Structure formats: C-alpha cells, structure tokens
Amino acid sequence: MNLSSLKPASGSVKERKRVGRGAGSGLGGTSARGHKGAQSRSGYSRKRGFEGGQMPLQRRVPKFGFKNINRVEYKAINLDVIQALFEKTNASVIDIGLLRNNGLIGKKDLVKILNRGDINAAVEVQANGFSASAIEAIEKAGGKAIKV
C-alpha cells in the first residue's frame, strides 16, 4: 500500500447535482424545484417551526400560567439530614459552607430548613430560611437557628 493507491470506499463519494443545465440533463427548466411556490424562489428559507401553512404546534397548544421573575427558589434541607450530617461530621455549627462541602447543595443554592424527621443534637444551624416548626424543633433540642 502507498499514497498513490489510496481511494475512498465505493459509494461514499457522490457527484454534485448540476441543475439548470438544459432539458436533456433531466434537471433543466425548474431545476428540480417543482412548479411555483415559495420553495421554488431564490432567497427562500423556511422559518423555524413553519408547518407549510398549517397552524403550528406552538400556536395550537393552549397557554396558561406565568413564570414569576421575582420568585426566590430555596433548596429544602430537612432536620433528619441535619441530624445525619451532625453524626457524620460532629460539627457544632452547621452552615451553608458545610452543606456545600458535603454535596447537599449547589454553589448558588439558597437553603431553607424544614421540619421532617427529628433532631436531638444541640447544634447551631445557619441557613437562609427556616420553617417555624423547624426553629421550634432545633431550639427544643438545645440548638440555635440563625438566619443568614
């Protein structure tokens, strides 16, 4: 084998379609574009979502509701997770950094502590938000709930 004997696999290279080169070529006249209509004209480009004049899906489907751009989204952390984290790390202060380091929240997440499960460790919990029942449960266990 040498460079002069290399060639592409058979059937992998197609010839370019030469349109508009006379009636004898079979692709003269309308240049394989059919008769009239937008697609036969030069400069035609189909709009995204265009369905040939049929009412497009985007307009057929009913719309409802709205997205509140001022909504503040919290990542919920429950008391049983706080208890498990305390048992794992034995930290007296559980803050957002500790939650992030243990993979419980993302980099930009805001944290809200909710009252699922129970806590019996006297820990100081720092978060962006607390439910009233979670604050009560943390303080009953001898800890503190601090909003950051």
Per-residue CA distances from 126 to 62, 79, 111, 117, 145 (Å): 44, 13, 9, 18, 6
Residues 37 and 102 in one domain: no
For every one of its 148 residues, what pLDDT tens digit does the chain have, with 9 covering 90 and above? 899 999 999 999 999 999 999 999 999 999 999 999 989 999 999 999 999 899 999 999 999 999 999 999 999 999 999 999 999 999 999 999 999 999 999 999 999 999 999 999 999 999 999 999 999 999 999 999 999 9
Task: Say what the pLDDT of residue 19 is.
Answer: 94
Which residue range(s) make up the domain with 124? 74-147
pLDDT of the residue at 77: 96
Is residue 140 located within the same domain as residue 83? yes
Note whether 96 and 132 are same-domain residues. yes
Q: What does the pLDDT read at residue 116?
A: 94
Per the CB < 8 A criterion, the answer to whether 113 and 105 are in contact is no
Q: What is the pLDDT of residue 1?
A: 81
The values of phi and psi at residue 54, to 5°, are: -65, 150
Whether the CB-CB separation of 102 and 87 falls below 8 Å is answered with no
Kindly state whether residues 84 and 122 are assigned to the same domain. Answer: yes
- 9: in domain: no
Among the residues of the chain, which ranges form H helices?
57-60, 79-89, 96-101, 132-140
**Same structural domain, 53 and 79:** no
pTM, two decimal places: 0.60
